[in-house]
Amino acid sequence: MDKVFNKLRNLDAYPKVNEDFYSRTLAGGVVTVVSAAVMLFLFFSELNLYLYTVTESTLLVDTSRGDTLHINFDVTFPAVRCSILSLDAMDISGEQHLDIRHNIVKKRIDANGNVIEERKDGIGAPKIERPLQKHGGRLGHDEKYCGSCFGAEETDEQCCNSCEEVREAYRKKGWALSNMDLIDQCQREGYVQRVKDEEGEGCNIQGSLEVNKVAGNFHFATGKSFLQSAIFLADLLALQDNHYNISHRINKLSFGHHFPGLVNPLDGVKWVQGPTHGMYQYFIKVVPTIYTDIRGRVIHSNQYSVTEHFKSSELGVAVPGVFFFYDISPIKVNFKEEHIPFLHFLTNVCAIIGGIFTVAGIIDSSIYYGQRTIKKKMEIGKYT
């Protein structure tokens, strides 16, 4: 057994030196303090990197199908009345959403941007007393109300019981309402007067849309929209002005949920209309994105890039409004939060300690032998 221990003792790569042979110097003390300080600094820097999450990104082909696109928006129009501002959406698959009202909140604002009134769009219509029936008489006590669509009925049984339903029936026919004062429903609901009362006001519109994940557009237009000969037009009423000031500020525009590090390039963007009128267009490339945090929580969202263009009405038909044309990128970005592996951290710490000890030893030895050489030369010179 003693032979085994002796062989192991001979393999010792760290032979011990008796303390009686140690020679401690001032330079060695300084080198030790400095090297210890550098070692601690590098250790805590490495520890901070280990505790800090690193976000790795990869690019993949987007193979998802049948998904929807969630659009969040908050846009302010300082010179467009809420009563004539409509939101429409359509995509290349042919699906259309005209004059969207669900999940939409409109705020009437004054010239200084202060909120005058806030309400969900399409909510709070006035109560109608004894409206005009389809057959021409007034609603009786025991009768069911069925208002006229004023020639826009698709069937004999169709009823238009509100100003909005009359406008919708005209939209489907591709007709424009020339004088809303003659429409009984609009007259009693005070629609025309409400539009006139909002003279000089602006509108803040905010909410969300759920659309098909295909190329398409959504737009804020002045007036009720309709399709005619496959061209988007606007039902600009007689009481409206063709030359709207569509100056606007995009407070928020995002495609999906927020995740750390997400930058929406249109947030806070402001555009002021010049002397010419027309439509302002944003062309957006939407990039599907998946973000996985350090706890494994997955967020499905989107990033986007954008270019802008103003189409003047002087160059042709240009419906007053703000249009957002979006296209979906076939490439998906995958972000994943990760920690530096513990073994990697341990390796770096060992490298820091061993490297500083080695370098400090070389420096200390160089100083020590340099001082000894100078001292010997001085002693030789003294005896000669």
Mean pLDDT of 235-245: 51
Is residue 343 in a domain? Answer: no
Query: Which token pair is 351?
Result: 């490298």
Q: Are residues 170 and 24 in the same domain?
A: no
Task: Classify strands 248-255 and 231-235 as parallel, antiparallel or unpaired.
Answer: unpaired
Q: How confident is residue 120, by pLDDT bands cut at 50, 70 and 90?
A: low
278 lies in which domain range? 54-111+205-338
For 218-227, what is each residue's pLDDT tens digit? 999 876 544 4
Higher pLDDT, 8 or 266: 266
Strands (E), the chain: 54-61, 68-77, 85-91, 96-97, 104-109, 115-120, 202-212, 216-222, 224-228, 231-235, 248-255, 269-271, 278-292, 298-312, 321-328, 331-338
Q: Are residues 180 and 231 in the same domain?
A: no
Nearest C-alpha neighbor of 186 from the set 172, 201, 169: 169
Mean pLDDT score of the chain, rounded to an integer?
79
Is residue 347 in a domain? Answer: no
Q: Which pLDDT belongs to residue 285?
A: 97
Phi, psi torsion values for 261, nearest 5 degrees: 90, -5
Q: Are residues 20 and 39 in the same domain?
A: yes
pTM across the whole model: 0.66
Whole-number Å distance between alpha carbons of 71 and 100: 13
Is residue 349 in a domain? Answer: no
Q: Which pLDDT belongs to residue 318?
A: 65
Q: How confident is residue 290, by pLDDT bands cut at 50, 70 and 90?
A: very high
From residue 67, give the alpha-carbon distance in Å to each of 63, 102, 214, 215: 11, 20, 9, 13
Mean pLDDT of 117-124: 58
Mean pLDDT of 264-268: 95
Q: How confident is residue 384, by pLDDT bands cut at 50, 70 and 90?
A: low
Whole-number Å distance between alpha carbons of 340 and 169: 63
Q: Are residues 212 and 98 in the same domain?
A: yes
Q: Are residues 236 and 306 in the same domain?
A: yes
For 314-355, what is each residue's pLDDT tens digit? 766 667 889 999 999 999 999 999 888 888 888 988 999 889
For 141-193, what is each residue's pLDDT tens digit? 555 778 788 878 888 778 888 777 887 788 777 776 666 667 777 777 666 66
Q: Are residues 248 and 102 in the same domain?
A: yes
Q: Which amino acid is at 276?
A: T
Under 8 Å between Cβ of 109 and 247: no
List Cβ neighbours of 86 (8 Å cut-off, separation of 6 or more): 98, 99, 100, 220, 221, 222, 223, 224, 225
Share of the chain above pLDDT 90, in %: 27
Q: Are residues 327 and 179 in the same domain?
A: no
Q: Which pLDDT belongs to residue 204?
A: 94
Q: Quick check: 68 pLDDT over 70?
A: yes
Is residue 31 in a domain? Answer: yes
Q: Which pLDDT belongs to residue 125?
A: 39
Q: Are residues 276 and 320 in the same domain?
A: yes
Whole-number Å distance between alpha carbons of 84 and 238: 12
**Which segment of 36-50, 249-263, 283-297 scores lowest on mean pLDDT?**
36-50
Q: Which pLDDT belongs to residue 17?
A: 65
Q: Are residues 185 and 313 in the same domain?
A: no
Is residue 74 in a domain? Answer: yes
Share of the chain above pLDDT 70, in %: 78
Q: Quick check: 62 pLDDT over 70?
A: yes
The number of folded domains in the chain is 3
Q: Quick check: 123 pLDDT over 60?
A: no
Other C-beta atoms within 10 Å of 310: how many? 14
Is residue 118 in a domain? Answer: no
